[in-house]
Structure 1
């Protein structure tokens, strides 16, 4: 494993090696679901300048293998979230990016449930405290 520098602002870190579905590793073209989700996130982000404030980053394996197509949402000083079980498509990418904008503009990373896009509801796996802090 090699640690590489990345932008330190709000970011969606997508697992580029995630399974396509719970039971299928690759799609019919041999592509992993995670790689497809990364491509969808970048395409949707490129189409809408609203999403420019959140980086789309990728890395192999977030170790959430039971939950395919996973992402980690993070920002300095904010609670982080791991979400998964997404379809690797534009609809999921837009929901993730819509939530990421709300997350980025929040004080602590917590977004009121009533503001969550429908496409992220039911996809949360874990939340992680910011470095050097705990959540009460």
Structure 2
């Protein structure tokens, strides 16, 4: 049920998220989550600023009403679940830009002034790291 992955800053994307509120898949039979994973990987490969951020995928983050959904995490940092993204390069770039700021922060808190416009309004929840709660 679990597969070990790199234990560093990561964007974990749901690869089974719906394509739209009304359709699970696009005309080619691909889900929105699969498109978002592909966009995240393409954007990451296009810019060395994203080298320290892993793009990982898994089926269903259980945030189906808020697709396309990602979980941003890093050791000893507060994590975040974000959703309601279009499965495209613009969203992927905003997610990765935020992930760079997040990875460079002390505890996972990024000042609002440093948030890319493309992630504002997309936060669903935050999660404490094991053994901690946020103050």
Calculate the TM-score normalised by the size of structure 2: 0.98
Provide, for residues 56-114 of structure 1, a one-character-per-residue CA deviation record: whole Å limited to 9, x for no partner. 00000000011111000000000000000100000000000000000000000000111
* Partner of residue 87, structure 2: 88
Instruction: Note the 1:88-127 alignment, pairs <5 A.
Output: 88-127=87-126
Contact residue 16 and residue 59 of structure 1 kept, 8 A: yes
Task: Quote how far apart the aligned CAs of 1:23 are.
Answer: 2.2
Contact residue 22 and residue 67 of structure 1 kept, 8 A: no
- When the two structures are aligned, how many residues end up with a matched partner? 135
Residue 100 of structure 1 aligns to a residue whose secondary structure is helix
Runs (4+) of structure 1 exceeding 2 A deviation are none
Which structure 2 residue ranges, 5 or more long, are not aligned? none
Task: Quote how far apart the aligned CAs of 1:30 are.
Answer: 1.1
Instruction: Note the 1:65-80 alignment, pairs <5 A.
Output: 65-80=64-79
Calculate the TM-score normalised by the size of structure 1: 0.98
Instruction: Note the 1:1-136 alignment, pairs <5 A.
Output: 2-136=1-135
Which structure 1 residue ranges, 5 or more long, are not aligned? none
* In 2: Cα distance, 1:51 partner to 1:110 partner: 18
